[in-house]
Amino acid sequence: MLHSTDRRAFVRWRAAIFVVFALSGLSIATWASRVPAIKAALGISQLEIGLLLLGAGIASVAGLSLAPIVFTRIGARRTIIAAIAVFATGVLVIGVGTDLVHSYAVVLAGLVLFGLGNGAVDVTMNVEGAAIEKQQGTTILPLFHAFFSFGTVIGASLGALAVALGFDVFTHAAVIAVTLVVAGLIAASQVPAHIPADAAPATERTPWRERLRISLSAWREPRTYAIGVVMLGMAFAEGGANDWLALSVSEGHRQGEAAGAIGLAVFSVSMTAARVLGGPLVDRIGRV
């Protein structure tokens, strides 16, 4: 049982990771809800929107790959601060490229920062969430992901409100970027400044060949690929909706930008509900 002081620190740590998940969702929905406005402001085609998304996706994979290295060296708190600063800057640069300089290249640069930061924070917040779940002893990771969805609901709703109030993309993005940085700093201050337990001091580290063998061992496990296929299907569905739903409703169904953002919000609310119910469901019937 945790000492009362340790318990309070644990509760603050858990709340902070809830906030980090929500901030990641907020940033993604901010971009996604304004895709129709960005497309119109830059006068670009669907293909060019697809290339923007490809740039963000490649950067996200890079962030996912770099995060474990950074996390191991500087710990969770500083990794979270750095990652949020990067994707918040990306959100701001997207707004600058859309409305201030009207540059496709600048928007692409913003999306690269956006993808890089979100990829890095994705790894870090999930590692922290798994550590919290292990310490708490109950299934809580789906609830963390529900807070990501809460963030997307808030972001999509604010996107619809911004359109209704006539805010351009830059103004909207600037407000969200400041919010992300301020809230991220406050949340990160409650995250333990720990280095992963398996990151042994340099003097005690095993030879690199042994570390490589351990790292690659997961790829000899068939369950890695089974889980990967499930993740691929779910990420394909969620990513496709986040990237294209607002534009589909806005242009494909000719309902306007605000309706596109509302459509994204409805999707996000549905995902949130499933994730809130996910933990109790897993505890009741098991993961498989």
Class of domain 4-194+208-285: mainly alpha
Q: What is the pLDDT of residues 138-185, one digit of tens each?
A: 888 888 988 998 898 899 889 989 998 999 999 999 999 999 999 999
Domain borders along the chain are: 4-194+208-285
Q: What is the pLDDT of residues 24-72, one digit of tens each?
A: 999 999 998 898 899 999 999 989 999 998 999 999 999 998 998 898 8
Structure tokens at 276: 């809130």
pTM of the model: 0.81
